[in-house]
Amino acid sequence: MTTTTTTTTTTTAFPTSFDESWRGFGGIHGGLVVAALLRGAARALDATPVAVTAHLYAPVAAGPFTVDAEVVMGGRSAGVRARLGDAATAVVRLARSPGTTVAWPPGPVSPPDVDPETLPPLEIPVDFVPFSQYLDIRPINSARPFAGGETPEFDVWIRLTADIDLTPQETAAVLLDALPPGLYATRTAPVPIPTIEFSAHFPPGTPPSRWYRLRHRTAWATDDLCVDEAELHTETGELAGQARQLRRILGGATTKEQS
């Protein structure tokens, strides 16, 4: 005798909207798109996102949208599939009772012994990347975009200055995608390097922070693909999120320009 198990899924639509001022290199900033997918998933289950894998297929325009959240599984292994039209999809895992997070090594990491307010801000042209007007970025090391450095990585203090209602997980998603591709630290001119897959994990219970330390680097690259990884800590050293991004390199040359 064959027994068939049927899984019932529930899909709920949640309205959202993106302002033109949140555009990145093409469409709306990818971190904000991921934040909208997280919010739809969290509302569908009234739970806390702890992991997301998002696929970004096309630039998202400004304006109203609907996030469709399909509850795949409830209980302790809660999972939701979220979709923003044909532009982006995500699988989100959530926790209903996060409890206390234990990290290894134990305790918060030691933040840099420098007040971010004393560091000069990184100036990003707003007409080039409009959403940069909502970021305050203070580089900790010498790396700068298009400075032709040797190592594809950035280390900064960062905060959002926008008056926008975000949960700690949504804030982490935006900030983890806030810096330019790590390869930009090794180049002297921009090429499009859009994100096509974004995966992140958020330790539940991390308190919100005014400033965050963000370390972002390219782990590997070919002529047309690269992977960036980022780690976000609060100003007191608690882990707020970790991310990896698969990106397409549309202009060739993985590091400095080909001669």
Strand-pair category, 48-56 with 88-95: antiparallel
Peptide bond into 105 cis (omega under 30): yes
- How does residue 75 score in pLDDT terms, banded at 50, 70 and 90? confident
In which element (H, E) is residue 175 found?
helix 168-176
- How does residue 254 score in pLDDT terms, banded at 50, 70 and 90? low
Per-residue model confidence as pLDDT tens digits over 6-62: 345 688 999 999 999 999 988 999 999 999 999 999 999 999 999 999 999 999 999
Per-residue model confidence as pLDDT tens digits over 179-223: 999 999 999 998 999 999 999 999 988 889 999 999 999 999 999
pLDDT in the model for residue 152: 97
pLDDT in the model for residue 125: 87
Nearest-Å Rg of the Cα atoms of the chain is: 19
DSSP state at residue 202: -
Average pLDDT score over residue span 119-145? 93
Helices and strands (DSSP H and E) totals, the chain: 2, 11
Per-residue model confidence as pLDDT tens digits over 150-170: 999 999 999 999 989 999 999
Does position 225 have pLDDT exceeding 50, yes or no? yes
Average pLDDT score over residue span 172-183? 96
Q: Would you call 182 exposed, middle or buried from its count of C-beta atoms within 10 A (0-12, 13-18, 19+)?
A: buried
Task: Using the CB atoms, write b or e for 201-214: b if 16+ within 10 Å.
Answer: bbbbebeebebbbb
- How does residue 253 score in pLDDT terms, banded at 50, 70 and 90? low
User: 237 with 111: CB under 8 angstroms?
Assistant: yes
Domains annotated for the chain, with CATH where assigned, are: 10-97+114-248 (2.40.160.210)
Does position 94 have pLDDT exceeding 80, yes or no? yes
pLDDT in the model for residue 109: 82
- DSSP E strands in 3-78: the ranges are 10-18, 48-56, 63-73
Tally Cβ neighbours within 10 Å of residue 3: 4
| Average of per-residue pLDDT values in the chain | 90
